[in-house]
Amino acid sequence: MIFLAVLVMIPFYFMIVSSFKSVADIFSNGLNVDINFSKMSLHSYETLWTNRNGIYWSWFKNSLIITVLETVLVLLFTSMVGYGLALYDFKGKTTIFAVVLIMMMVPSSILLLPLYKEVSQLGLMNTYAGVILPAIVPASSIFFFRQFCMGLSKEFAESARIDGAGEFRIFWQIYVPLMRPAFGAMTILTTMNAWNDFLWPMIVMKSDTNFVLPAGLMSAMTPYGNNYDLLFAGSVMSIIPILVVFVLNQNQFIEGLTVGGVKG
């Protein structure tokens, strides 16, 4: 496992070291990953922060807003749907769950054209809503919450109803605290998916100031010269929010993914 971890960390090491070098130094004698402090500087970061009137921060802001809103909405809606499918009995429940399973089997690329047509007709092109709305109820998240809630007892809800609690109060005050591990795991997974999403935001966002980080950094790769130094510096900066989210939710993430793996 240590050997595999080292292999995984090699690209990150190369990216971080290269972010302090010029393009010439990065590719001198092949891919140069040597640390030479005399040739390393913060020039790439300074250029990144000031390039084109600080457009990198516009990309960063766009990714941050989209990621936060999408994560909150995904957790809200999919947890409620998964909770309902697991702990309620109603007509059509099996059909709805079958639709969820079918949607998990459909490649997202197949839906790009109908989604584009729908978003365009709604007038949501080049807006945050156009990027966020199609992604707020992913089938995989519904399935995850449903499977987690299947392990929770219905007796809590029955006792609360006897005491006069309403259905929303039962969900928010009783089951949401019990679902903390699931929320922790899905927070990390949803944040990563939203933050790293490239294709759909690039389709929706037309102007370069509205690009998200992956699309914005990709625009640095041009036929007239590739700004690898800016690309590496921007990539290092883009990792920081994901690391923060993971550190804050790592215990819940591990517990959420392993719950139900053992009995007793």
Q: Give pLDDT tens digits for 101-160.
A: 999 998 888 889 999 999 999 999 999 999 999 999 999 999 999 999 998 888 988 999
pLDDT at residue 257, rounded to an integer: 60
Confirm or reject CATH 3.40.50.1370 for domain 59-258, answering yes or no: no
Helices in the chain by DSSP H: which ranges? 2-18, 23-26, 43-50, 55-87, 93-105, 112-121, 128-132, 139-149, 155-162, 167-170, 176-178, 180-196, 199-204, 213-218, 228-258
pLDDT at residue 51, rounded to an integer: 72
pLDDT at residue 251, rounded to an integer: 74
pLDDT at residue 225, rounded to an integer: 54
pLDDT at residue 165, rounded to an integer: 87
- Those residues of the chain that have pLDDT short of 50 are 260-264
pLDDT at residue 100, rounded to an integer: 93
pLDDT at residue 119, rounded to an integer: 93
pLDDT at residue 260, rounded to an integer: 46
Q: Which residues contact 140 (CB under 8 A, 6 or more apart)?
A: 104
Q: Phi and psi at residue 30, in whole multiples of 5°?
A: 85, -155
246-251 — which CB contacts under 8 Å span 24+ positions?
Answer: 246/188, 249/184, 249/185, 249/187, 249/188, 250/188, 251/184
pLDDT at residue 255, rounded to an integer: 66
**Domain map of the chain by residue range?**
59-258
Q: For 225, which DSSP code? A: E
Of the candidates 207, 208, 213, the one whose C-alpha atom is nearest the C-alpha of residue 125 is 207
